[in-house]
Amino acid sequence: MSQGARIEGLRGVSFRSRAVYRIVGEIGRGGMGIVFLADRDSENVQDRLVLKTVRTLSREHIDLLRKEANLATRLRHENIVKSYGMESLPLQEVAGKLGLGDANVRALAAEGTDRVYLIAMDYVEGTNLWTLHDAHLKGRLLLPVPIGAFIVSRLCRGLEYAHRWLVHRDVSPGNVLIDHEGVCKLTDFGLAVESEEAVRALAGKYAYMAPEQLRMEVLDGRSDLYATGIVAYEILTGLKPFPIIAREMRQAMRDSLLARARTPPAPHRVRPDIPEALSAIVMKMLQNDRADRYARVGDAGDLIEQRFLYRKGFGPTNNSLAAYLRLFAQGFDKAPAGDLRQLSFFKNALGVVEPRRSCSTEDYTPEGLALAERDGDSTARSILSTQAP
């Protein structure tokens, strides 16, 4: 039998990976990027991950992708999707699939863009907060308050860590992933800027922008805190605090700024099932002047946990969220005993675990229904037309 060889040390050794990637298919796209699911084989060890590239092959967009990779790859936190750096392949190899002729390839090569670059990151198998919230609305339901507050607290934890280096600038429900184990993860750092960057540019989604973001001022972590407050308001009440009607970009920006000058009703005044302590935290996150918000997003996360989630000494965990997701997927039917134990904080006066939270006109105050009238989107119309069973 071979005695083998002892490895004493490899310090200073450089080598190239022999990993082979196979793109399974497209799983999403946004304004600037396309995301693919891919299989990776590295020395006969198989893994599944995500590859993100730009929609436009240009030096400017590739530089933005590289900047995103440099920012995201340094982040290592449970509540942030892990990125592993960049991979690339010759443009010539995929030109046909991209619909590019030889002349296009030569022109791009002359500009220094003769390769397709991709960010490699973890594949989070599960859902995102927008999809989860929308699925509840379609079932005339809302996320239970403790579950919604727990998700927001995890988002605060991820942002608290990320703010050591950057401002995300695109916090929204679609960028909050939730895996099957109940772990919430912030993703998409394509618009992020380093904390010390004095960037004055409009970036993000109008519905979740802070006033200073709409005014194209230099941003800090409190701008992400504001966006997190909008996310919290939306999933707790089912309504947007600042309805946007206009579709044209400049008008939407003006409407958004005007809307933010008007203080929305506090969540507990929209739906009485939202505790006032939690409502007050959300409203401080939504202060128009950033100086009046919490100094750090972590402060909001602390208070959500101390004053609401774990005030009684126990409350939701990742396991609780995973159990709730399974229960919701099964239509709240035949929950295993283990899942019910994870959701014991939902016990009603009869000792029965009942996490369902209805979403009908009877669940809203007159002030809440007035906000729904102003909102005018499909969610608000659905609430206004739904009677309790």
Band of pLDDT at residue 389, cut at 50, 70 and 90 = low
> Is the C-alpha dihedral spanning 325, 329, 331, 335 positive or negative?
negative
- Given 170, 255, 339, 363, the catalytic residue: 170
- Does residue 370 share a domain with residue 329? yes
| Coil, helix or strand at residue 323 | helix
Using the 3D structure, point to which of 84, 100, 122 is the last residue of a domain: 122
The domain total for the chain is 2
The angle formed by the CA atoms of residues 371, 376 and 378, to the nearest 5 degrees, is 115
Domain-embedded: residue 13: no
d(CA 281, CA 295): 13
Asked whether the predicted pLDDT for residue 335 surpasses 60, the reply is yes
* Spatial CB neighbours of 313, under 8 Å, sequence gap ≥ 6: none
Domain-embedded: residue 14: no
- Does residue 131 share a domain with residue 54? no
- Does residue 350 share a domain with residue 201? yes
- Does residue 312 share a domain with residue 264? yes
- Does residue 48 share a domain with residue 26? yes
Comparing 41 with 383, the larger pLDDT belongs to 41
pTM, two decimals, is 0.92
Using the 3D structure, point to which of 96, 122, 148 is the last residue of a domain: 122
Nearest to 264 by CA among 292, 295, 233, 293: 233
Domain-embedded: residue 97: yes
Average pLDDT for residues 296-322, to the nearest whole number? 96
Quick: pLDDT tens for 56-105: 888 888 899 999 999 999 999 999 999 999 999 888 888 777 666 777 77
- Does residue 135 share a domain with residue 86? no
- Does residue 221 share a domain with residue 116? no
Quick: pLDDT tens for 208-217: 999 999 998 9
Q: Is 63 a catalytic residue?
A: no
Domain-embedded: residue 332: yes
Predicted pLDDT of residue 376: 66
- Does residue 277 share a domain with residue 234? yes
The angle formed by the CA atoms of residues 275, 389 and 375, to the nearest 5 degrees, is 55
Predicted pLDDT of residue 176: 98
> If you search the block for the tokens 């004095």, which residue do you land on?
198
> Looking at residue 312, which CATH number applies to its domain?
1.10.510.10
- Does residue 100 share a domain with residue 216? no
- Does residue 180 share a domain with residue 193? yes
- Does residue 263 share a domain with residue 247? yes
Comparing 134 with 9, the larger pLDDT belongs to 134
**Domain around 43:** 20-122
Using the 3D structure, point to which of 90, 122, 154 is the last residue of a domain: 122
Quick: pLDDT tens for 139-153: 999 999 999 999 999
